[in-house]
Amino acid sequence: MGVTLKDVAERAGVSRSAVSRTFTDGASVSAKTRSKVEKAASELGYAPNALASSLTTGRTKMIGLIANNFHNPLILEVFDLFTRGLQDRGLRPLLVNLSDATDPADSVRMLRQYSVDGVIVASSTLPSSFALAFKAAGLPVVHAFGRYATAPDVHVVGIDNVACGRMAAEALVQRGYGRVAFLGGPRSATSTQDRVAGFLGALAGCPEVHVSASYASAYTFDAGRTEMQQLLQDTPAEAYFCGDDLLAVGALSAIHEAGLSVPGDIGLIGLNDMEMARWQMIGLTTIRQPVAQIIDAAIALVVSTIEDPGRPPETRLFPCRVVERQTLRALP
């Protein structure tokens, strides 16, 4: 049988309530008592029961971490940073896969069953209705990688996708490309809508540049490869802004399979700067999204909202930048 709170109390010569207070955040206990309890617990190999503690404090210290695009390797980087960031703050992540979810109410019911203290939606493709449903249920919520809004309904942490689209357009124009195109993810994704809007808007004042747009079925390697294979059957653009690194890697594969070179025949620029983009055999020129900063800010916001549920929603945006590698022409 495992070591109990009673065993620690007897070893330390204190009451069971003193042991409980020692392991309860914010509870009042003298330094002398704390020292005795911690020493006894160490000698006995005792660890407090987190679930039992939640019954006393009313908090589980669990944060629901919601995502839906598990086919994209970037989500592994996101989960790694999120889980470590939460655990470093004494919190526990509850990972939830909403890849096939269509009803926000189902997600709310599931998270309520686990009595999570807060929710972080880590997705640029889930509709805002999911984050709003969690808020309506009284759960502190932050939408990481969500859509920029000047007056948000929930906390949003991410990037200005319209600005990223403009950044990509400027990068291609600076390199002298005359026929450029956008290769995006699903049309329904707000990230796709904003990136193409910024891209096309920046090129509206460049009549000498021919521009077009196409859309893949998902933010996946296969979707990017399939879409580029179709584009290559006609007259392809000289360079493509792919709305996600994984789409760009899929496009790169299709271009090479067609016997063409990058950037000799076709140039590519992606978005995210995921780990794969840095691999030597890929070397993707891309727009870096500061994922680690976004995640750290999202965790800080959900923690502060748990402590202050009346905190007004805010938007925090982080700047992006072009990372030069080997899939675009060199600057003149």
pLDDT along the chain (332 residues), means of 10: 72 80 72 83 67 54 84 85 91 80 73 84 83 88 90 92 97 97 93 96 94 94 97 96 96 97 97 94 97 96 92 94 96 86
Among 207, 211, 213, 209, which residue's Cα sits nearest to residue 173?
A: 209
Which tokens go with 55?
Answer: 């019954």
Tell me, yes or no, whether 169 and 181 share the same domain: yes
pTM for the model: 0.81
By residue range, what is the domain housing residue 219?
161-289
Residue 327 inside a domain? The answer is: no
- The Cα 106–Cα 268 span in angstroms is 40
- The Cα 321–Cα 182 span in angstroms is 18
The pairing of strands 286-288 and 321-323 is antiparallel
Coil/strand/helix, residue 196 = helix
What does the pLDDT read at residue 55?
Answer: 45
Tell me, yes or no, whether 167 and 201 share the same domain: yes
Q: Based on the structure, what is the number of domains in the chain? A: 3
Residue 329 inside a domain? The answer is: no
- The Cα 296–Cα 262 span in angstroms is 35
Residue 325 inside a domain? The answer is: no
What does the pLDDT read at residue 61?
Answer: 85
Tell me, yes or no, whether 113 and 132 share the same domain: yes
Residue 57 inside a domain? The answer is: no
- The Cα 92–Cα 85 span in angstroms is 10
Tell me, yes or no, whether 136 and 205 share the same domain: no
Tell me, yes or no, whether 38 and 67 share the same domain: no
Tell me, yes or no, whether 174 and 284 share the same domain: yes
Residue 332 inside a domain? The answer is: no
Q: Under a CB-based contact definition with an 8 Å cutoff, are residues 139 and 291 in contact?
A: no
Tell me, yes or no, whether 139 and 168 share the same domain: no
